[in-house]
Amino acid sequence: MTKKVRVRFAPSPTGGLHLGGVRTVLFNYLFAKKHNGDFIVRIEDTDQARYVAGAEEYIFDCLEWCGLHPNESVAHGGPYAPYRQSERKDSYKKYAEQLIKDGHAYYAFDTTEELEAMREKLKAKGSNSLQYDHRIRMEMNNSLRLLPEETQQLLDTNTPYVIRIKINPNESVSFTDMIRGDINFDTNYVDDKVLLKADGMPTYHLAVVVDDYLMKISHAFRGEEWLPSAPVHILLWKYLFGLHEMPQWAHLPLILKPDGNGKLSKRDGDRLGFPVYAMDWKDPKTSEITKGFKELGFLPEAFINLLAVLGWNDGSEQEIFTMEELIDKFSIERVHKGGAKFDFEKAKWFNHEWIKKLAVDSYMMTVKQLFVQKGVKNIDEGKLTKVIELVKDRCTLLTDFWEQGHFFFTPPKTFDEASIQPKWDEGKKEFFNVLMSKCADVQIWDAVAIENVFKTLATEKKLKIGELQMIFRIILVGTKMGPQVFAIAETIGKQETTDRINNALHHFYF
């Protein structure tokens, strides 16, 4: 029988949730759902110095917005609680000590200064490696070099220590990555990583292995930046629980900056004018707010969609996927090996597609909120829905609805008179005066009826319909923009239409 699929996302609560992080969650989530497995969120807060208040809650808010619901987590509970590593602190030490007992780890008493001195010395010698490894460990202050009594005495006198893994040289560590295939490491280049810190907390390396084992994780997907430390994790699995228990690994490609080189970072977003975090993140120390996709006007469906196809595709030409389709079609083997540069233009295109695709109801309230923020009072939701329907084709971001739809709720304060003036004369003026009274007679106020009245009158007066329509548009909107002019008139209503004509006629200075 194959193991039940259990995957985890293991963020450390240190700040905003990066889009690369969300993609890692997404791939984990899709894989879990596809195989009827569990998706676990485990908080890796083993570095107390980097702890940021509110970051944990923020991560769950982001996941909620994205529609990525954990089966087990700090917030959702579960049979393997606690899901916060700081609360599991005591469980790691015994594994570290077990490793020492088995000869796979050792106590190291070196101070920060001593470590620095060691690196300086190696540098001076022109060494290729500044690592704490098999080459230099017998020169350091650790239980490998010290006599057992000496070590015991240091321990007895509460000398601060860390526990390091003992990597044997001249061995080969290999594993099969679900994306990259067979990967080999020569242990000569692997260092004796710290497993347990002086404060008693485990490092990521120990914690990830212990918790993946304890939480029965079957597949471990993480960013490519973890690949170099994979041999440490594999050795730990071998020493502690046996390789047959080890989850299957997949190292996801990185998301890179659109210009230059390197991993995409929050700073690139600030610099190039696009979001990197899923939602607005307010730094509790500086109160500085970093914009998120959500607040910038992205739909969660679009955000998920664009992330899914950044480094993955199903081999067909399909680009727009619902979550259900993604779950159905996702396969980790089809994830790319190479990193992908993030393209904000394409990201916006996805959002545009989703604005057109989704039922208006699903985001009407978000748009309403935007209009309320802009100061529009007493918004009729039926009218707003109609407005959205009318202008959604020309909105790329949810925030564009203001620009594209504000004039349905607030009459224009200024007019594009430069466009009207060359066409303006007494005949036009009279046309609009008569139009007002004709409008009053229209029984069923809809676009077709208005167009009818408008065109009949224009023909009667022998005026160019195109010119009149342009002027009518500017009268209603203020500028040359928006959907079909008669649809605008219909939507704002009969009274408002005549009011705006009347008002504009008094405004024109020519």
Partner RNA sequence: GCCGCGUUGGUCAAGGGGUUAAGACGCCUCCCUUUCACGGAGGAAUCACGGGUUCGAAUCCCGUACGUGGUACCA
Size of the site for RNA (CB under 7 A): 84
Structure tokens given for 42 = 């485990």
Nearer to RNA, 163 or 370 (CB): 163
Q: Is 341 in the site for RNA (CB under 7 A)?
A: yes
- 266, 455, 461, 494: which one is catalytic? 266
Query: Sheet of 194-196: strands edge to edge?
Result: 105-108, 162-165, 194-196
Residue among 93 and 180 whose Cβ is closer to RNA: 180
Closest residue by Cα to residue 141 from 121, 101, 168, 111: 111
Site for RNA in 374-403 (CB under 7 A): 393-394
Residue 424 makes CB contacts below 8 A (sequence gap 6+) with 471, 508, 510
Look up residue 42 and give its amino acid: R
State how far the Cα of 212 lies from the Cα of 215, in Å rounded to an integer: 5
Within residues 227-246, the interface with RNA by CB under 7 A covers 227-229
- Report the DSSP beta bridge partners of residue 281: 290
Site for RNA in 438-467 (CB under 7 A): 464-467
> In terms of CB distance, is 2 or 157 closer to RNA?
157
Q: Which of 50, 69, 374, 429 binds RNA (CB under 7 A)?
A: 50
* Contact predicate 291/277, CB 8 Å: yes
For the CB of residue 377, give the shortest distance to RNA in the complex, in Å: 26
Q: Rule CB under 7 A: choose which of 54, 258, 327, 447 binds RNA.
A: 258
Question: Residue 115 Cβ, how far from RNA at the closest point, in Å?
Answer: 6
Q: Which of 227, 229, 217, 222 is nearest to 252 (CA)?
A: 222
Residues 128-167 that bind RNA (CB under 7 A): 128-132, 160, 162
Distance CA 86, CA 83 (A): 9
281-282 and 289-290 as β-strands: parallel, antiparallel, unpaired? antiparallel
Among 470, 494, 503, 508, binds RNA (CB under 7 A): 470
462 among known catalytic residues: no
Q: Cα–chain-centroid distance for residue 137?
A: 42
CB of 20 to RNA, least distance (A): 11
Tell me the window of 10-18, 97-105, 289-297, 321-329 that interacts with RNA (CB under 7 A): 10-18
Using CB under 7 A, pick the residue from 338, 359, 377, 510 that binds RNA: 338
Residue (204 or 277) nearer to RNA, CB: 204
Q: Hey, what long-range contacts does 88-91 have (CB within 8 A, 24 or more apart)?
A: 88/207, 88/211, 89/200, 89/201, 89/202, 91/210, 91/214
Give 90 or 441: the residue with its C-beta nearer to RNA. 90
d(CA 499, CA 481): 20
By CB under 7 A, name the one of 197, 216, 266, 386 that touches RNA.
Answer: 197
Report, in Å, the least distance between residue 251 CB and RNA. 7
Helix, strand, or coil (residue 414)? coil
Residue type at position 497: T
Q: Which residues, in sequence order, are CB contacts of 380 under 8 Å at separation 6+? A: none
Site for RNA in 479-498 (CB under 7 A): 479-485
Residues in 58-117 that interact with RNA by CB under 7 A: 110-112, 115
Q: Which residues are catalytic?
A: 266
